[in-house]
Structure 1
């Protein structure tokens, strides 16, 4: 049986990254993490991609890192320090690439998003969840600490209190509660998940790319800076974006009372 792969495609300005390992509940091997990272960095470097949609095939979004294949009988045992190097090069690099991505990122979460799978989803700008979706952090129950940005990402989405309950007590965060906390931005029927996530990603891909990227950067840097620095950063972003073709189109469309047609320039 095929173990599947990560499939990357681009249609217009939208890049779609699909984890297609349903028999393994879309658990990620090192090669899959590298593939996702490369797909994101290539999208940023190329210039033609204007938004990213990340989803998976099958009933579950992602069961986390594929610890089954790593610990299979006969598999080579890691040397001391090997785990640190592997996580840095694989999971951490993937999470960092998605968090730092200047393009809008939409993630569609079906079923369970566990461990690294939850953290993968939490890097997004828009998280669309199916009604049956849940975030699960199994680390404490397995006797080891959280990795791949789980503490940092979940606390920023859910708040410190809710993140503590999920991480220390292993309490799953279901779609309803996740929506109430702002972890999930939209909750839709299971059968509508892919279409709704694609619609939102398409809208963002058709938007004013430079302005969206600047705003995303301001929001994320604002988490670790003061108001004075944020005000100055906003001024620089405004100066940059008013020079864009999309700004001119936006102003013209506003005056003519029509929908703007942005080109991402």
Structure 2
């Protein structure tokens, strides 16, 4: 297992990428290290020979307690699977305790999920008056009425209910979630990768997206322009009253 940074580890095992949040002492709360580490992990996975990724977390208490109030993450969308880094390879989340806020959002955006039987899903934004908007894309990924009740009440949802409404694929006894996910990932990894990737690509192309999901890829493009040498050159040439020399970078 290789540490990407202080909060995220990456391991390749039999064509399966194990991506692990390593902050059990903070209930795997999402801080800036988690955001940057997961973003790098998604990039590494997309470019690797690994065929399936599993997102899991250390400890028994929490998959993620959500945003770290002691180190509020910037650009939390960078940490989300299937959002900041396009990838046609499947991603499986393993929930081994609480999945709160942005942690629950990561589970929702993963392609599949395994939850241990003691797991609990909490989305408290309606109770605290904050909403980033990404969870607005829940409707194609779980039953609409049940999902909307969960979001609007802010009440915890147990693993059994998450399974019933389609947020998770499988339930596992405590401590066995990763093993179940590895079993599923192994079956997928042994199948024809081009077919598996085409299945995900076509399925996602017809999956309705929230406005937030549509906006973020555009934001990546616009941020790249804003930080480019060409933009600096354009401003400088305007001030110096000369023709710009753009380089496409």
- TM bucket (normalised to shorter chain) is 0.7 to 0.9
Moved more, 124-133 or 98-107: 98-107
Spell out, residue by residue over 1:189-241, the C-alpha distance to the aligned partner (whole angstroms, 9 max, x if none): 1122121111112222222111011011111111249xxxxxxxxxxxxxxxx
Moved more, 165-174 or 54-63: 165-174
Match of 1:209 in 2: 193
**Which secondary structure does the structure 1 equivalent of 2:206 belong to?**
helix
Question: TM-score, with normalisation over the residues of structure 1?
Answer: 0.71
CA distance in 2, matches of 1:224, 1:114: 24
Change in CA separation of 1:99 and 1:122 when aligned onto 2, cut-off 3 Å: farther
Match of 1:123?
109
CA 1:186–1:4: 2 relative to 1, 3 Å = same
Q: 1:148 to 1:204 in 2, by over 3 A?
A: farther
Return the alpha-carbon distance in structure 2 between the equivalents of residues 34 and 130 of structure 1.
27
Count of equivalent residues: 203
SS of match in other structure, 2:168: coil
When the two structures are superposed, what TM-score results if normalisation uses the length of structure 2? Answer: 0.76
1:9 matched to which residue of 2?
Answer: 11
Question: Runs of 5+ in structure 1 lacking a partner?
Answer: 71-82, 226-265
Aligned to 2:86: 100
2:45 to 32, 43, 47: 43
SS at match of 1:9: strand
Once the two structures are TM-superposed, the CA of residue 8 in structure 1 deviates from its matched residue by 0.8
Deviation string, structure 1 residues 124-150 (Cα, Å, up to 9, x no partner): 2220000011210011111222x2611
Identify, as 1 or 2, the structure richer in helix. Answer: 1
Deviation at 1:36, TM superposition (A): 1.0
Q: Say whether the 8 Å CA contact 1:151–1:163 is kept in structure 2.
A: no
1:173 CA displacement: 1.7
Paired with 1:214 and 1:55, the residues of 2 have a C-alpha distance of 25
1:149–1:99 Cα change, 3 Å: farther
Moved more, 202-211 or 96-105: 96-105
C-alpha distance in 2 between matches for 1:167 and 1:224 = 19
Q: Report the Cα offset of residue 97 of structure 1.
A: 3.7
